[in-house]
Amino acid sequence: MLEPWTNELTSSMLPDGICKRIAEEIGADNLLKLAVLVGGSTFYMPQAESILRPLRDKKIKEAYNGYNIPELAERYGVTQRLVQQIVRQKPVYPTFE
């Protein structure tokens, strides 16, 4: 793991570029964790929209009352057809609620 002195790293110590921008957004400590996890490899980072899609779909299903498809489409920035598809989906994993 990381040495104790590494917690003194700040984003201002980094050269201009993507690493500095990431450190400014998430903190130098989290940048180091990311470097330990994937440093030196090539990996794909999906867009935030893709990461948030399962949560968006869950929220739509929870708010759906059978009559509010237009409202949900507007609230979540999707089409009414997509809202219909989402509320018809079977859960991928069983829920124990």
Residue-range domains of the chain with CATH: 4-38 (no CATH), 48-88 (1.10.10)
Place of tokens 């989290």: 30
pLDDT score of 28: 93
Which residue bears the tokens 């009414």?
Answer: 80
If the chain, 97 residues long, is cut into consecutive pieces of 10 residues, what is the mean pLDDT of each piece?
Answer: 85 93 94 93 93 96 96 98 94 64
pLDDT at position 94: 60
For every residue of 2-43, which 3-state class applies, written as one string?
CCHHHHHCCHHHCCCCHHHHHHHHHCHHHHHHHHHHHCCCCC
pLDDT value at residue 7: 86
pLDDT value of position 37: 93
Length reported for the chain: 97
